[in-house]
């Protein structure tokens, strides 16, 4: 039969073999010192069926995509003992210690993300962004945002709101600066106040708005200040 040999342990094919009809076997393997190649002009499809002949799994390698059809897709470690990735109709689970995204556009999630830690690589910036909607971070025991070195910046085009329903808001730092606060008019001349005044008093309106007022021997904060009336 040329390249086809029939032995007690099975059928041995030497060289390149071509099949024009389906091939049904229990095992296909190459020699210990050779690679196994499956080639086709269109695609290569591997089917798995049960005892009733029903299709239980399919792997198709085509020119444009690799498709797997099964109840659950699993990827294991080299020794086969550790499960690294699994996917089914309900969820996708990754059990690796680290999940790295190296694309220039980052990762895009259409829905919520649940994770204990989001961390950038060493010497890289971490950016969480929602271009057109709201970015929300929630946790039953608290949310911690910290930076070991450098500056932590939180900015917004409109309002930036800090709210605690039952606890308190604590600002703990050696220096706390509130820039661009409005200046209330207490003296007869606002120009004189801006030229001669070096010390200001921080005033709080009934609405909670903060403004500056020239410091005097007594408080210069006024509930009827023009800042409070227009807040």
Q: What was the pLDDT predicted at 58?
A: 93
Which stretches of the chain are assigned E, i.e. beta strand?
4-7, 10-13, 44-49, 55-61, 66-69, 73-76, 83-87, 92-94, 200-204, 210-214
Q: Count the residues in the chain.
A: 231
Q: What was the pLDDT predicted at 188?
A: 46
Rounded distance, CA 4 to CA 23, Å? Answer: 15
Nearest to 77 by CA among 95, 57, 50: 95
- With 0.85 as the threshold, say if the pTM is over it: no
All residue ranges of the chain with pLDDT < 50 are: 1-2, 188-191, 193
| Residue 56 contacts residue 70 (beta carbons within 8 Å) | yes
Q: What was the pLDDT predicted at 195?
A: 56
Task: Write the pLDDT tens digit of every residue in 12-70.
Answer: 777 777 777 777 777 887 878 888 888 888 888 888 888 888 899 999 998 888 999 99
| Residue 199 contacts residue 215 (beta carbons within 8 Å) | yes
Q: What was the pLDDT predicted at 231?
A: 60
Q: Find all residues with CB under 8 Å of 114, minimum gap 6, and list them.
A: none
Rounded distance, CA 119 to CA 122, Å? Answer: 9
Q: What was the pLDDT predicted at 39?
A: 80
């Amino acid at each position: 039969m040329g390249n086809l040999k029939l032995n007690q342990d099975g059928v041995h094919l030497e060289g390149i073999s071509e099949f024009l009809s389906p091939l049904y076997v229990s095992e296909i393997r190459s020699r210990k010192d050779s690679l196994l190649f499956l080639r086709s002009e269109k695609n290569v499809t591997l089917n798995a069926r049960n005892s009733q002949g029903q299709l239980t799994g399919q792997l198709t390698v085509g020119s444009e995509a690799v498709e797997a059809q099964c109840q659950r897709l699993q990827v294991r470690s080299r020794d086969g003992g550790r499960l690294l990735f699994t996917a089914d109709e309900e969820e996708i689970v990754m059990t690796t210690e680290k999940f790295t995204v190296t694309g220039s556009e980052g990762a895009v999630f259409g829905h919520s993300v649940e994770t204990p830690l989001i961390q950038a690589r060493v010497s890289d910036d971490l950016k969480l962004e929602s271009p057109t909607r709201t970015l929300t971070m929630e946790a039953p025991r608290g949310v911690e945002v910290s930076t070991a070195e450098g500056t932590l910046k939180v900015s917004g085009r409109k309002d930036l709101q800090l709210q605690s329903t039952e606890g308190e808001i604590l600002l703990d730092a050696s220096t706390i600066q509130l820039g661009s606060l409005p200046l209330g008019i207490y003296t007869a001349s606002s120009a004189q106040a801006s030229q001669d005044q070096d010390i200001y008093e921080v005033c709080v309106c009934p609405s909670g708005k903060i403004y500056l007022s020239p410091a005097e021997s007594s408080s210069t904060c006024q509930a009827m200040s023009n800042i409070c009336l227009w807040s």
